[in-house]
Amino acid sequence: MSFLASSSLGPFASAYPLSPTVLRHTLSEQPLLSFEALAKAALELPSQYVERRVSNAPNGGEFAMDQSDDADVATVIRSISTSGNWIMLRFVEQLPAYRDLLNGLMDQIGPAIFPSTGPGLTVRGFIFISSPGTLTPFHFDCEYNILFQIAGDKQFATYHSGQPWLPLDRHEAYYSGSDNMLPWKDAYEADANIHHLRPGDALFVPYASPHWVKAGAEPSISLSITWQSEWSQSVGAAMQINPLLRRYGLPAGDLPAWPRTPRWRSLGCRVARKVGLL
């Protein structure tokens, strides 16, 4: 079954991997992505892969876990219109039906990405169920991502993956176990490239592109499929070893612009891992 409009794949392939791009899809009628199906999936996933956060976090603030009551996550999803929450189901490929769905999507995406970055590696699936008006604060993800809007609408604001929006120290810290949240300045509001997503829309988000997301007036469901490439994995290794290089007085580099690969830092990272320095 084809989920992506064929007319979307050419523009996506031309823009990939550097530019955000809107695509069209037919997943809004997929039974696995209904509120009820997701409530059941939330109970099937191991609990550590289900997150419940507040819906009223500000940009630059804490995206706090919500422990205000003892409601199970399925109940929260079924009442998402009034619960004031943001629910994430992580690594849904652990559930066979969702793994099949992601594999079908990747089969369609693959020919568009392969000529630029090779095969998609470490494919993962995330599903977001959001109360009306939920703000997902300013952050970055160290994967390539296509977000499929299933129900409700969203404003999805993207930024270039570099200074000042993504400070090098925050990028490096992520690979040492820190979170992916970013400091916010009100001046960044004017820098945003805002994409208005409705059911049937999808958005490709480049590797490490900072972004914030705001749900509209109705409950929202979104599916993200993410992947790595050899280039993104080498960049991650370079970011991880940078602090160690500085500690020993060795030169550390910035985030390399694609397609330049930080081969020596990537190799050095692998060696440092083997000898226990990382």
Taking only the tens place, the pLDDT of each residue in 84-139 is: 999 999 999 999 999 999 999 999 999 999 999 999 999 999 999 999 999 999 99
Residue 4 pLDDT: 94
Contacts with 197 (C-beta within 8 Å, 6 or more apart), sequence order = 22, 147, 149, 153, 154, 155, 156, 203, 222
Amino acid at 182: L
Question: What are residue 71's phi and psi, to 5 degrees?
Answer: -60, 135
Rounded distance, CA 132 to CA 154, Å? 10
pLDDT for res 131: 98
Q: Is pLDDT at 168 greater than 90 in this prediction? A: yes
Closest among 268, 204, 258 to 230, alpha carbons compared: 258
- Tell me the HSE value of 134 on the side-chain side, using a 13 A CA sphere: 30
The number of CA neighbours under 13 Å toward the Cβ of 52 is 20
For the residues 251-255, what does the mean pLDDT come to? 85
What is the residue type of 265?
R
Rounded to whole angstroms, the Cα distance separating 266 from 278 reads 13
DSSP 8-state class, residue 240: H
Q: How confident is the model at residue 257 (pLDDT cuts 50, 70, 90)?
A: confident
Mean pLDDT, rounded, of the chain: 95
Q: For residue 177, how far is the Cα from the chain centroid? A: 17
CATH architecture of 6-228: Sandwich (2.60)
Which pLDDT tens digit goes with each residue over 210-250?
999 999 999 999 999 999 999 999 999 999 999 999 999 98
**Tokens describing residue 78:** 């079924």
Q: Express as a percent the part of the chain with pLDDT over 90.
A: 91
pLDDT digits (tens, 9 = 90+) for 185-201: 999 999 999 999 999 99
Give the SS3 label for residue 2. coil
Counting Cα atoms < 13 Å in the Cβ hemisphere of 236 gives 17
In this structure, is the dihedral angle defined by the CA atoms of residues 57, 59, 61 and 64, taken in order, positive or negative? Answer: positive
Mean pLDDT of 262-274: 91
Q: Residue 192: helix, strand or coil by DSSP? A: coil
**Structure confidence at residue 10 (pLDDT):** 95
- Nearest Cα residue to 90 out of 229, 224, 219, 233: 224
Residue ranges of the chain assigned to CATH 2.60.120.650:
6-228
Tell me: the pLDDT tens digits for 15-43? Answer: 999 999 999 999 999 999 999 999 999 99
Answer yes or no: is pLDDT of 181 > 90. yes
